[in-house]
Amino acid sequence: MPSQLALQLCLCFIAWLFYRDYRRGDRVSLALWIPLLWLFILGSRPISAWFGFGSSAETNADPLEGSPFDALFFLMLIMAGALVLASRPVNWEAIYRNNHWLIFFFLYLGISVLWSDYPLVSFKRWIKDLGNIVMVLIVLSDSDPIRAAKILLARCCYLLVPLSVLLIKYFPVLGRYYDRWNGSIYYCGMTTDKNILGMTLFVCCLSLIWILFELMGKRIKLTILLKNLLLLFLMGMAAWLLQQAHSSTATACTFLGALVLLALRFAPIRRHFWVYGGAVIGSVLFVQVAFNLSDVIARTLGRDMTLTGRTDIWTIAIHEGPNPLIGAGFYSFWLGNRVAKLSEGYHYLLNEAHNGYLETYLNSGLIGVFLLLALFVSAGKRLKREAMTGEPFATFRLACFLAILPYGFTESIFNRLTLVWFLFLLVITDYPRKYSVPPPAIRSKILQPGRVLNSR
């Protein structure tokens, strides 16, 4: 098929998906287009790359300067989002009361800008990270936040999945790249790197599985059946892309998230969640000791025990680590002369530790790691409690949370402009929702074993 014809068919397919949602009544606030545009950029490439200006990541530009065009674009989106929140009756008191560990974590990251070797660069990156919070609050402060989240994630899939297939199949100059040393081919789709493509597909796959599970619980009608087929078609494309990306972390964590999402659909598992979870963890530990499971999994996923050289990067980064208590300052470790020193022996410049927990330590020290872990514990308890009701969005949030935690062991996903970090903030941020505090009569039914609160 000619590439131009494929492009036209792909765009028509995407337009049809949006049009069908519109005809079905999936109309939400126009403000939701702001986070959708934000997610499109996070899940693809910098806006400067799409308009041909080039970004510091793709040119020889100074990484300390970055792209002014990208910076201006992100600032405009953040300001637009702030105006939306200012026009809404946002319950700021409840946000602070329910998310104090998240607020403490971000405040400390902002303070850590002060001891960065490049405070201006660090501050600009912190402002961009705050932009994720702004976009999340736009979704959660919607009149129907669950529906808004579902539509936002679905539309993100509508855009990123078909277009990634299109670029890989028909526009290889954009959708593929080659290793400069051995000539190996890698697929990046709408993104700039196979690992980033894996992150994008991880979010898209879990979102599509969640939406499919919800549709399966409704009465079968022709329109619902047609939408199921469309989502299954998108899911098939996402699965094919995941296989092409060869991102072992994304594949394994997607499988884990889908497994948790499926398990939480059953009331007995929800009631004894920690028992089943402990049994699974205990079984894995036993198999690891008896049969060296980690080596088997690594070979199955086509990786070695160094996780494609990641362990070597971890070693040199720890030896070069700054102040162990406070770190190098927010998002500042991989800047300046330190990068050249750490990159000796590599045919490229290192720019991350490929481990979100180690990256937090390098940039924010032990204090940052403690606040991050405290955030995990606080959010995990709340998400588990809410998921026990069986409410679909609550189970989706817990599944994403449990899948993202191991993702951080091989990729620097925390406090980054990636879809995985946005999804993490979306699922852990506690904002008052109608289903969170139901009327007493309904609440008594929810707490009965085996009862499931109907999704809206």
Of 338 and 169, the one with more pLDDT:
169
pLDDT at 258 over 50: yes
d(CA 161, CA 306): 31
- Band (336; pLDDT cuts 50, 70, 90): confident
Structural domain total, the chain: 1
Look at residue 94 and tell me if it is in a domain: yes
Look at residue 356 and tell me if it is in a domain: yes
In this predicted model, what pLDDT tens digit does every residue of 131-178 receive, in sequence order? 999 999 999 998 889 989 999 999 999 999 999 999 999 998 888 888
Predicted local confidence at residue 326, as pLDDT: 92
In this predicted model, what pLDDT tens digit does every residue of 352-409 receive, in sequence order? 888 889 999 999 999 999 999 999 999 999 998 888 888 889 999 999 999 999 998 8
Residue 127 · residue 80 · CB < 8 Å: no
Cα dist. 318→327, 366, 415 in Å?
A: 11, 13, 19
d(CA 46, CA 58): 10
In this predicted model, what pLDDT tens digit does every residue of 414-453 receive, in sequence order? 988 899 999 999 999 988 764 343 434 434 443 343 444 4
Look at residue 361 and tell me if it is in a domain: yes
Look at residue 300 and tell me if it is in a domain: no
Look at residue 293 and tell me if it is in a domain: no
Predicted local confidence at residue 212, as pLDDT: 86
Look at residue 159 and tell me if it is in a domain: yes
Token pair recorded at residue 111: 């303070």
Predicted local confidence at residue 224, as pLDDT: 62
pLDDT at 263 over 80: yes
pLDDT at 410 over 90: no
Predicted local confidence at residue 140, as pLDDT: 92
Look at residue 283 and tell me if it is in a domain: no
Predicted local confidence at residue 25, as pLDDT: 63
| Alpha helices for 43-99 (secondary structure H) | 47-50, 68-86, 92-98
pLDDT at 26 over 80: no
What share of the chain in percent tops pLDDT 90? 41
- Domain holding 363, by residue range, is 3-265+308-446
Look at residue 453 and tell me if it is in a domain: no
Residue 455 · residue 214 · CB < 8 Å: yes
Report the 10 Å Cβ neighbour count for 254.
24
- The residue type found at 256 is L
Long-range CB contacts for residues 7-13, cutoff 8 Å, separation at least 24 = 7/166, 7/170, 7/171, 10/162, 10/163, 10/165, 10/166, 13/162
d(CA 244, CA 189): 10
Of 230 and 234, the one with more pLDDT:
234
pLDDT at 272 over 80: no
CA torsion, points 67, 157, 205, 75, in degrees to nearest 10?
Answer: 30
Token pair recorded at residue 355: 């481990």
How would DSSP label each residue in 27-53? ---GGGHHHHHHHHHHTS--HHHHTT-
